[in-house]
Amino acid sequence: MLMMRNTLISLLAVMAMSPALATEVIEKRMAEVVPTVSPDSIQPTEMAGIFEVRYGTDIFYVSEDGRFLLQGNLIDLESRQNLTEKAKRAVRAEIFAEIPDAELTVYTPEGRVRHTLNVFTDPNCPFCRQMHDDMDKYLEAGIKVRYFMYPVLGRQSPEIMRDVWCADSRTDAMDRAKAGLAVASRDCPTPAEEHLALGREMGISGTPASIASSGLLISGFRPVVEMLLMLESE
């Protein structure tokens, strides 16, 4: 009887693996599957026995014994929350909070900044120009706009973006570029490659693409009123 009880206790201990032990097991298994990269984080989810494993903005779910791996959205049917998107937002928010204004082309409201948008833009993108036409409305609404270089439309886009970033006044040069006007040719080091790599990491396939300080990703052009409603609902 005592032996049976001890066996049962041992089985229960294995079944209810501690987070620390499960993390160690998963870490070893993922090292076998992806030996060249270590996960940025391994943490338990709200689903019993399932852990979130994150590589950058890529999120996977692994069983606590390291046997099963799931890829896709984890939905909490009680709260109707997409837990995967929630986790990705947190990662995006952290990444963009660490990027200083000095590396970007920034439009800042005169009054209180209510929201911040990190916008991947291309000078030859029609919808990017349409969004830029509303810049005064964004600023009046208290929305700070931080432009990232994402020159993917046309052979001239990288050169135009370089000229904007190397100008004495990036905002003046950006205004000209968005209006289809010539920008004085300049040459200097730019963060073009870093911005392109960041955009790809975020899964951005078109411009404009905006990421709020909360990590919310908004694809495409939206009227200012609609954009503000989305930001206020966060």
Tens-digit pLDDT profile for residues 54-101: 998 899 999 999 999 999 999 999 999 999 999 999 999 999 999 999
* CATH code of the region 2-83: 3.10.450.70
Question: CATH topology of 2-83 equal to that of 97-232?
Answer: no
The pTM for the full model equals 0.84
**Mean pLDDT for the chain overall:** 91
Q: Give me the percent of the chain exceeding a pLDDT of 90.
A: 80
Chain segment 136-182, per-residue pLDDT in tens = 999 999 999 999 999 998 889 999 999 999 999 999 999 999 999 99
Q: Does residue 8 have a pLDDT over 70?
A: no
Rounded to whole angstroms, the Cα distance separating 210 from 113 reads 17
Per-domain residue ranges for the chain?
2-83, 97-232
Domain 97-232 has CATH 3.40.50.300: no
Q: Give me the percent of the chain exceeding a pLDDT of 70.
A: 93
pLDDT of residue 231: 94
pLDDT of residue 154: 82
pLDDT band at 11 (very low <50, low <70, confident <90, very high): very low
pLDDT of residue 6: 53
pLDDT band at 126 (very low <50, low <70, confident <90, very high): very high
pLDDT of residue 63: 94
Burial code (b: 16+ CB inside 10 Å, e: under 16) for 105-136 equals bbbebeeeeebbbbbbbbbbbeebbebbebbe
Radius of gyration from C-alpha coordinates of the chain: 23
The total of other beta-carbon atoms located within 10 Å of residue 89's CB is 19
